[in-house]
Amino acid sequence: MIRHLTCSFLFLSLAAATARADEIRLKNGDRLNGEIIRMEKDRLTVKLPYADDKVRIDWKQVECIASERDLTVELSDYEVLVGPVTCTDGAIQIKSSRAGTSNPISLKELRTVNPATYHGFLTAGGSIATGNTDTKAATLSTLFQVRTKRHRFTVEAKYAYGEADSRTTVRNSLGSLKYDFFTTDKVYTYAQTLLEKDSFANLNLRNTEGLGAGYQFFDDRALSLYAEAGISYFNEDVIVGEDRQDAAGRWAAGLEWEAVPDRLKVFHRQEGYYTPSVSGVTLRADQGVRISLVNDIAANLEVDYRFNSRPEAGKRNSDLLFIMGLTYQYDYW
């Protein structure tokens, strides 16, 4: 008797869970039942009850979606509706507690579903070698970003350390904070600050603070590309030698290209300063590839380049750092 009651309870629980599941109708006729996580940049992420990993579906292959839960839907004109979603003739209707039931909305009019407000990544890499030469190296970097229609906040930090035969050979770090205000979908103004330290480049602290303008050429799942230009206050506190404070021109650019969908991403970020009074150029450029492994974890292969056209006596004007590690990408919505 107890066994029959237990089986009945489990059956009813499963049936209730299935009834509450969201529905995704594809253009090829298939129907999926699961939990809609979000849709951004033409990619629908779904958690299916019979799969361990999240499933990502090309939004162009989706015929319709439905959910008894409240979904946050952002339209192409940035209007936001929240409520259960029903499917009707290849379109959706949203039952909002404030505005009532909407008119049928084509999926082409949807900008995002449950949009991620916060996202970022954490990368860690390192190496150890023993034998004729004992070497150790470690790098840690993170980037955290908050984006709304008009505002974007970006925080970045990076640290690298290395030693050979118990002697420190690499030790540098940086931190940056940046705010972008979008006057249109693509044009924005920015305010930024950057802090850098590098013991082996004779740099006790470099601090820049500046204003400028940028242009977001692309910002979708397959391709993100921007460029910036502005002016900055440039301050260098060196370990040995004369400190320097001056005005400088600043430029920056960033690229993320999904060369193989869901598998391979190529990235490049650079930031440079030109100081007219001494005709000096300072540049940092990070580039590499990320190869998806499982869920939100990817292998990270990266080359960081640093250049200073006016190094202190006895110092080279450029540095290269090769990084192999793992990246974890996260989102909050």
pTM exceeding the 0.85 threshold for the entire prediction: no
Q: What is the pLDDT of residues 197-218, one digit of tens each?
A: 988 888 899 999 999 999 999 9
Give the rounded percent of residues in the chain with a pLDDT score beyond 90: 51
CA distance 215 to 226: 6
Place 11 in a pLDDT band, splitting at 50, 70 and 90. very low
Q: Which residues, other chains included, contact 96 with Cβ-Cβ below 8 Å and sequence gap of 6+?
A: 81, 82, 83, 102
Which residues have C-beta within 8 Å of that of residue 52, sequence separation ≥ 6?
none
- CATH 3.30.70.360 is held by the domain 118-332: no
**Token pair listed for 174:** 């940086």
Kindly list the domain boundaries of the chain, sorted by start residue: 22-114, 118-332
